[in-house]
Structure 1
Amino acid sequence: MVGYDPRPQDQGQGLSSSKAAAAGSAAGLLTRVFINPLDVLKIRFQLQIERFSLLEPRAKYLGIAQATNRIFREEGLRAFWKGHVPAQILSISYGAVQFASFEFLTKFAHNAMLYDARNPIVHFVCGGLAACTATVTLQPMDTLRTRFVAQGEPKVYRNLWHAVVTMFRREGPLSLYRGLTPSIIAVFPYAGLQFASYNIFHRISKWGSISSGNVHNLVCGSCAGIISKTLTYPLDLLKKRMQVDGFQKARISFGQVQTYKGFLDCMFQVARGEGLRGFYKGLSPSMLKAAFSTGLVFFWYELFCNILNDHKQGASSGHQQQQSKDLNRKQ
């Protein structure tokens, strides 16, 4: 199971931080390939300023099917993988930092602070702290990913390096950290709820004698993703709005332009101009993405952890057998 396991080594104790990082990177890479189109849809809805109304459909994107069709007609199939390179770098790095930090923190909580490492509350706190560590480390890559997804045609940024140079020259180095405040505020409860909910669903399945396995991990992860995303979604929307602040040239291709003075100003402008529903623009594709991405991340992570554990135990068993053979020869 995800997190430090205090049971004896032969019962499957948790991996080292380096192996957790490797498993987290692989999980992030494979998951990103599948969920990038949903991420594009989610971000486009989040950045759309216009009020959504079926009676007065001024907004460019009105629903998942309509938005998918419109993006495909106007920008082609490749548009659904816009920003895939920075997003893939982000996913690989984020998975490594988050899971390695989580394994370390749960082990620290158990050994140094004497808390039960398998407790859902411990998983909530450690999961939130691990995600904050990954977010601060990788915020520039998340901002670049959002900018690439936001730009329509013609493109403002030709490639990743061009985007970095352009932002440095026009907006300064701090532009890579736009949206960091709502990111930190949002990611702690979001990731904390993910890890805690995943833990709780695993516990419930054991109480109900539901069989465990890779598919079981996928279902538990998907449920955890839906719950955590629904409860923290408005903060994610504010983060995306602030990340493209000052990027009017690209945004105007699919909606109105708005500028913000800070986190609170962004929140007030959304509330005043778009109403309460404005905070939940893009919730449908976001929930689909959360279900798939969280489920797949935990699915792949658990799978790679099991592979690494089996390899570790196999190597240990082989080493013990070799030592036994050497001892018998000496006797």
Structure 2
Amino acid sequence: MPELETVSPSSSHHFNGQSDKRRPVSRSMFALKTFVAGGAAGMCAKSSTAPLDRLKILLQAQNKYYKNYGVFSGFLAIYKQEGILGYYKGNGAMMVRIFPYAAIQFAAYEQYKKLLKPYFNQKTHTSKLVSGSLTGMTAVLFTYPLDMVRARLAYQVHQKKYNGIWNTLTLIPKQEGGLKALYRGFSSTIIGMIPYAGTAFYTYEVLKSFALDNPLLQPYTSKESFDGSGTMVLNIPTNLCVGGLAGACSQSVAYPFDVARRRMQLEGMISETPVYRSVSATLSHVYTTLGVRRGLFRGISINFYRAVPQVAVSFSTYEFLKQFLGISRPIS
């Protein structure tokens, strides 16, 4: 007999010890709902910060039209040079990528937590950290070529080398050495994803547990979840704050690897840069030629403006949709 997850019906029950009649839902249905909730959360989060995403790519890769701009001046320059649609260049590819990426990420995290729990006994912190890292690696493995496509489309300004998602997917292998070209920068992404996703999920879980358990923060929690299960959940403002802090921590830890990833992805579009053979070679070149502030952490300020609300919206939307779909559960 398959293992069952229990969720409550949609009728309202309060957090006062009253029991509600629960109906079982199959593991496959639980996985499907977390998949859908995760994908939708990712699309909402990325759409909310798409203009900042575009600017970050232009600054990281030292695009010749924007290399002398800062965050605010660069943001205004995009509008002057490319109009309002310039803020969303490459966003179509991002939406195609982000639904499966975020869906796999959140669904995998729920499964990894359950799978690894017996191996860590009472070490729940370690379990959450490892689960988060494995989650990020799994999501990247399945969706990386679309991230490559999105970066190429977003980097274009006036010269149009690529025309749409499919054209980019076909031209990169044809012009740059086969299908492996679609995975240029993959090693940097995987290495960076280990601390990034691990820190993001771990920090969010820890801060969420702290907020729910701290009497001083009780006014900022809701004692009745949307699905009527009576589960203690954070309200939306507190959830956004917790998610934002998780985003800030994870971005600080992994940012240089993100710079290396973009450099390797855009190698075929930047004629003056060398061929990057490895992550270490890329990081070394950026450091020796541009230094720490203007190289390894170039664009990190825009990344904070982008990543903090993005992760906040992502986690908050996911938590809301879990409640809406009847799969919200207490923090273990």
TM-score tier after normalising by the smaller chain length: 0.7 to 0.9
Q: 1:93 aligns with which of 96, 100, 104?
A: 100
Work out whether residues 129 and 188 of structure 1, in 8 Å CA contact, stay in contact via their aligned partners in 2. Answer: yes
Deviations 1:207-235 (A, max 9, x none): 43212212221110000000110111111
- Matches for 1:221-260 after TM superposition, within 5 Å: 221-248=243-270, 257-260=273-276
Q: 2:79 aligns with which of 72, 84, 104?
A: 72
Distance 1:137 1:61 in 2: 35
Over 3 Å counting, the alpha-carbon distance change for 1:115 and 1:8 in structure 2 is farther
Per the alignment, residue 114 of structure 2 pairs with 107
TM-score, length basis structure 2: 0.81
Per the alignment, residue 216 of structure 1 pairs with 238
Per the alignment, residue 199 of structure 1 pairs with 205
Distance 1:75 1:220 in 2: 35
- Matches for 1:1-331 after TM superposition, within 5 Å: 16-48=30-62, 60-110=67-117, 112-113=118-119, 115=121, 119-171=124-176, 172-209=178-215, 210=217, 211-212=220-221, 213-248=235-270, 257-277=273-293, 278-309=295-326
Per the alignment, residue 322 of structure 1 pairs with none
Deviation, 1:120, is: 2.9
Deviation, 1:263, is: 1.8
Distance 2:327 2:315 in 1: 18
Distance 2:149 2:327 in 1: 38
Unaligned runs of 5+ residues in structure 2 are 9-18, 222-234
Deviations 1:263-303 (A, max 9, x none): 22211111110012210000011011110110000010000
Over 3 Å counting, the alpha-carbon distance change for 1:220 and 1:302 in structure 2 is same
Over 3 Å counting, the alpha-carbon distance change for 1:7 and 1:121 in structure 2 is farther
Distance 1:64 1:241 in 2: 19
Distance 1:37 1:49 in 2: 16
Work out whether residues 182 and 239 of structure 1, in 8 Å CA contact, stay in contact via their aligned partners in 2. Answer: yes
Q: Secondary structure at the match of 2:139?
A: helix
Deviation, 1:203, is: 2.3
Deviation, 1:206, is: 2.9
Unaligned runs of 5+ residues in structure 1 are 1-5, 51-57, 250-255, 312-331
Deviation, 1:64, is: 1.2
Distance 1:59 1:80 in 2: 13
Instruction: Answer 1 or 2: which has greater helix percent.
Output: 1
Distance 1:115 1:294 in 2: 29
Identity %: 27
TM-score, length basis structure 1: 0.82
Distance 1:26 1:268 in 2: 38
